[in-house]
Structure 1
């Protein structure tokens, strides 16, 4: 049975070099049913022979098979026998595989195209990472990196501005900045490893304590390594020390450096390099170590108060960083501080590169303040109040001296005071300014405002008769004067001269048709005088006092406020009331600042205080004469304030004192406020003493202080004596 042409077996090629047989005979034998000889397997390293493509037989146009193509001659033969139609030429059998040597491993070669693809992908990933990082550096992080590079390359050094000075009206320096040094240390130079001493910080502290005036335990603590930052090479030991203190430390350090530079000490140092079993040492003798080797200093400035405690409660003080913390130093901190500058220079390896450029912004010095305070008057006021507070066994006291016409404060003294050069010796309650920060009930000095309202509204005159009983029942309270008495028959001037509470209540009741209307009128005048409002100084911690709205006055308050209880003021507010009367009824806002001198050296005067009329000039003149009777009349309470040659107008005050700790009445507030010369007023002086033990009446305690300070001030300002006598208004009448 014949096979179709497409199923004919492939002819097997004769192995090269056999020289016998042909493709035809081989094919014939294969077709005869003999098993074909299996070709030997190729070695793994051998490439398979290329497969020869056998051309299909051509077919004639009529569909008969075409003549088969003639096959190419096999290698080693010039010409091979043509295969039978429909059969493939046989493959040449591969050469026998050589047996692999024992122990050898077969190496398989990967497909080069796969390796090429893997390398290409890897390179693309690397390039993608580089490209992404480049985009991040150039576009996203460029500003931050440039700043960091600049920070590493350039060093910025702060240039502190010089703080402005504070002077009195005549140029006397009250506060200024002087050269100083910050005492610093490198804690890493005090370790046992660095000093070869087990207790170097303690030894150094023992030497520094007498110089710096600090406990050696505190100093030693600063010289030890910082547990939070053990690698820190900087510690501030004491800031803003005097040049004398710095020089003493420098001399000590230099002396110890020479002391340890001996042959014996050098020999000990050599032994530190040897192990202990060969005679080496771990520590040096104390005599061979300079415990101050790690001490350094930096130039700085510190605040100095050449006048000591003069005006300290007013001027204030700065903290350890040189920042204003109290008084005018705090109030004008921004103006005094100026503007710090800076210097930027290139640095390489921690060293300055002089030729690499840099930048510098010079600091702008602070502004100087010139106060209205007269230093001589300030000194007199401080001495007088300090002595009287001590004599009276009082808690504290304060004196204010004010120019009547300008409202300028010429002195503001408090006792006890303090020395801003030595804050450690002062108590916390001494560091303020009680003349502005204490709120107290003014007592009888407030009667001046009640009389001003009565006179200015035309409800009464100085000679209006007032019948004053020993007691007076109003609301749910019985009122008394400071002494028991038969019924007094006083003029309105006499009510003020004898400081009668009952007479003042009776006068205030005439301000309106009803008590409510009277309260409203009186409250309006108190407001005009500045009660319950800031003085305008802007002093830190200043109290505005306490004054309730008239509709909120209690049944008791509407009768106590007219004689100075149930409301509170600060000493400057009370002083300003009398200055208003002395100035013809015109209130001038008080001032402490005369002007400023800027960094350019130009002086700018302060603006004049705002003015407003409170009472008429006629009312002010009448009140002045009534106040003179307080001092001149033998029945007056202020006779201790008389000054020979000068007419004096003033008023005493004695009030129950509210203890700020308990909020209850405890002790007294004694005061006296007056002005002189009464015929041509120039100066107002107020004195307030809190919680005295030896006496408590205002005329008794503050009258002498007023006299002492006023007399000194009039002479200092060269105010001529009065050219006339006081009118001595009648204080009583006979029924």
Structure 2
């Protein structure tokens, strides 16, 4: 019979093996499926259905459970290690071992610091001391003495004077000498005692400027008292001993001593020199010169000698200023040169005083002799005549029928004042300054030939003076000329020049037809103190000597009573020259209406043995009488007379020829 099931027997009870056999032990936690039944089904022990098992290697299972990345595996491993460590019980270490470890670490740190200290103070002490000194000392520039600008005789037009800056170091003023220092500086420098006291008591400052631009002799007198704390440093001051003389030409320097305008600017490389270096100590951001040493001596700039004559320059400026002011004109210029086109004077009005540049305006500082261009007017007729003479088309006696007006290409050209039709020679056309006669001569020459002569005489080209602000003027290419261009250009309209260019034409004629590039610098001193002349200027023959002599003859007729400029006559000297009166273009309208006039006279003397050329230009004279003879002629006469006397040119020894003015004579 079957008894009750023994719970201790595995497999006992219903479903176990019959006949008292022992059943095979089953793995714990897993139910044994009944024979012949699938493994999936109900978990009998728990009463729950068993989840289906996915076979290994199944593709769907791999997609549902992706393999961990190396990073994830590493994180998992670290996390497992951390959890294991947290489960271990905390055990305190040996305190003696911890103390020994701490002492060892401190010893290592102290050894590192000690080794570094030995390295710095022992092996690298000099290098670090040098770095400390370099951070405290700096190199500053010592200005070089700027070279002088002188006239041809060595008279200074711009010069540099060495001065001193007087300063005190309050930390070095001895208490027992304090009162003496204050009294000395206040007396010698003419400063209030309170001001000096403030500087002396300004410790801990070590650099207090008391006065600048102190004359060297005065500064040395102060230092002779040998009082502690007083010192000086060298400085320079630019001075212009002649005030307004050649101011527009010479120019001036800025606060840093470099040239800003005129020759001071264009000759900067020659005048400036090379600065030196001085090592100074920097205390609270202030340089202390007395603490440094000289590193490199400055090299002074070179002195520049001009071709200018100071006396002629002064007289030309005065004569020009007087005439412009009397006429109420706007401005003017005077150019004086010799036959080699070395400038003896370059005067402008308005002008300014170089000792008070701050009070001047840009218009006053303008070098109008090269910067202002104008239509040359009738002074340009000499080039038209030169081209015709040189090409063999006319002689001074060639006769022309000269009416008051003529018409060309639909435009009417007339002379300045009405006259009946005349029979004039080429000389008479020049003497009377006839526009209609000059147009007829130009038609003999032709446009291309006239243009080439204008170019050869230097129009629309830089003069070579190298002055700031120079304008080369305007001369359009001949292919751009139109119907009336030949006529207008022949008597000086439709092109523009500056005063130096216009003077250069007459210097070329006076020099026998050889044009020399204008110059104003005679030479300069080098670093060795030796004077070296400037390179010889370029020269080129423009017309033959015969043509030049014929032109001189024709130009001399202009200054006779038959000509347009008897005002240019100088007693004892024969004078050749030409008047010019040209309309000015109104910049607002672009036309000649209400544009004013430019009056000129340019010539040379003596006519039989030329030595000096003078060009006078006056802008905007009175409209009722703007002609070059009465406006510019008197200034020419005054300046030329003075130049001839200054240069000791002897009077003319020959008689003027009989000029053939009219045809049939």
Q: Normalising by the residue count of structure 2, what TM-score does the alignment of the two structures yield? A: 0.71
Q: CA deviation at 1:158?
A: 2.1
Distance 1:628 1:182, change over 3 A: same
In the TM superposition, what are the counterparts of 1:474-489 in structure 2 within 5 Å?
474-489=408-423
> Who is 2:612 aligned against?
683
Structure 1 residue 465 and structure 2 residue 399: aligned?
Answer: yes
In the TM superposition, what are the counterparts of 1:14-163 in structure 2 within 5 Å?
108-109=92-93, 149=132, 151-163=134-146
> Who is 2:629 aligned against?
699
> Who is 1:376 aligned against?
311
Q: CA deviation at 1:233?
A: 11
Provide the rounded CA distance (Å) in 2 between the counterparts of 1:429 and 1:486.
44
Task: Give 1:310's match in structure 2, choosing from 240, 245, 249.
Answer: 245
Distance 1:146 1:687, change over 3 A: farther
Structure 1 residue 721 and structure 2 residue 655: aligned?
Answer: no
Assess if the C-alpha contact under 8 Å between 1:182 and 1:236 holds in 2. yes
Assess if the C-alpha contact under 8 Å between 2:443 and 2:486 holds in 1. no
Assess if the C-alpha contact under 8 Å between 1:312 and 1:420 holds in 2. yes
Task: Give 2:277's match in structure 1, choosing from 342, 355, 358.
Answer: 342
In the TM superposition, what are the counterparts of 1:509-548 in structure 2 within 5 Å?
509-511=443-445, 518-548=446-476
Q: CA deviation at 1:496?
A: 0.9
> Who is 2:559 aligned against?
631
Aligned residues: 533
Provide the rounded CA distance (Å) in 1 between the counterparts of 2:613 and 2:329.
23
Task: Give 1:364's match in structure 2, choosing from 289, 299, 302.
Answer: 299
In the TM superposition, what are the counterparts of 1:277-292 in structure 2 within 5 Å?
none
Distance 1:308 1:347, change over 3 A: closer
Structure 1 residue 165 and structure 2 residue 99: aligned?
Answer: no
From the CA coordinates, give the structure whose radius of gyration is larger: 1
Distance 1:359 1:388, change over 3 A: closer
Distance 1:119 1:326, change over 3 A: same
Task: Give 1:439's match in structure 2, choosing from 373, 379, 386.
Answer: 373
Structure 1 residue 495 and structure 2 residue 435: aligned?
Answer: no
Task: Give 2:602's match in structure 1, choosing from 670, 673, 684.
Answer: 673
Provide the rounded CA distance (Å) in 2 between the counterparts of 1:654 and 1:130.
95
RMSD (CA atoms): 4.2
Query: SS state of the match for residue 422, structure 1?
Result: helix
> Who is 2:521 aligned against?
593
Query: SS state of the match for residue 684, structure 1?
Result: strand
Unaligned runs of 5+ in 1: 1-105, 133-143, 187-209, 213-222, 224-230, 251-295, 512-517
Assess if the C-alpha contact under 8 Å between 1:165 and 1:177 holds in 2. yes
Assess if the C-alpha contact under 8 Å between 1:211 and 1:245 holds in 2. no
Q: CA deviation at 1:629?
A: 0.6
Assess if the C-alpha contact under 8 Å between 1:166 and 1:173 holds in 2. yes
Q: CA deviation at 1:483?
A: 0.7
Task: Give 1:571's match in structure 2, choosing from 495, 499, 507.
Answer: 499
Task: Give 1:649's match in structure 2, choosing from 554, 562, 576.
Answer: 576
> Who is 1:189 aligned against?
none
Query: SS state of the match for residue 634, structure 2?
Result: helix
Provide the rounded CA distance (Å) in 2 between the counterparts of 1:351 and 1:628.
69
Assess if the C-alpha contact under 8 Å between 1:400 and 1:686 holds in 2. yes
Query: SS state of the match for residue 386, structure 2?
Result: helix
Q: CA deviation at 1:465?
A: 1.1
Distance 1:123 1:417, change over 3 A: same
Provide the rounded CA distance (Å) in 2 between the counterparts of 1:178 and 1:732.
63
Provide the rounded CA distance (Å) in 2 between the counterparts of 1:379 and 1:357.
47
Distance 1:118 1:323, change over 3 A: same
Q: CA deviation at 1:418?
A: 1.0
Assess if the C-alpha contact under 8 Å between 2:278 and 2:292 holds in 1. no
Query: SS state of the match for residue 633, structure 2?
Result: helix
Assess if the C-alpha contact under 8 Å between 2:206 and 2:283 holds in 1. no
Provide the rounded CA distance (Å) in 1 between the counterparts of 2:292 and 2:238.
35
Q: CA deviation at 1:542?
A: 0.8
Assess if the C-alpha contact under 8 Å between 1:241 and 1:302 holds in 2. no
Distance 1:630 1:351, change over 3 A: closer
In the TM superposition, what are the counterparts of 1:262-277 in structure 2 within 5 Å?
none
Structure 1 residues 647-670: Cα deviation after superposition (integer angstroms, max 9, x where no partner) = 111000000023456644311100
Q: CA deviation at 1:116?
A: 9.8
Distance 1:549 1:147, change over 3 A: farther
Provide the rounded CA distance (Å) in 1 between the counterparts of 2:543 and 2:608.
18
Q: CA deviation at 1:397?
A: 1.0
Distance 1:342 1:473, change over 3 A: same
Larger deviation: 106-115 or 667-676? 106-115
Provide the rounded CA distance (Å) in 2 between the counterparts of 1:490 and 1:693.
30
> Who is 1:176 aligned against?
159
Q: CA deviation at 1:734?
A: 4.8
Q: Normalising by the residue count of structure 1, what TM-score does the alignment of the two structures yield? A: 0.65
Task: Give 2:488's match in structure 1, choosing from 535, 556, 560.
Answer: 560
> Who is 2:41 aligned against?
none
Structure 1 residue 708 and structure 2 residue 635: aligned?
Answer: no
Task: Give 1:399's match in structure 2, choosing from 329, 334, 346.
Answer: 334
Provide the rounded CA distance (Å) in 2 between the counterparts of 1:424 and 1:643.
41
Q: CA deviation at 1:477?
A: 1.6
> Who is 2:258 aligned against?
323
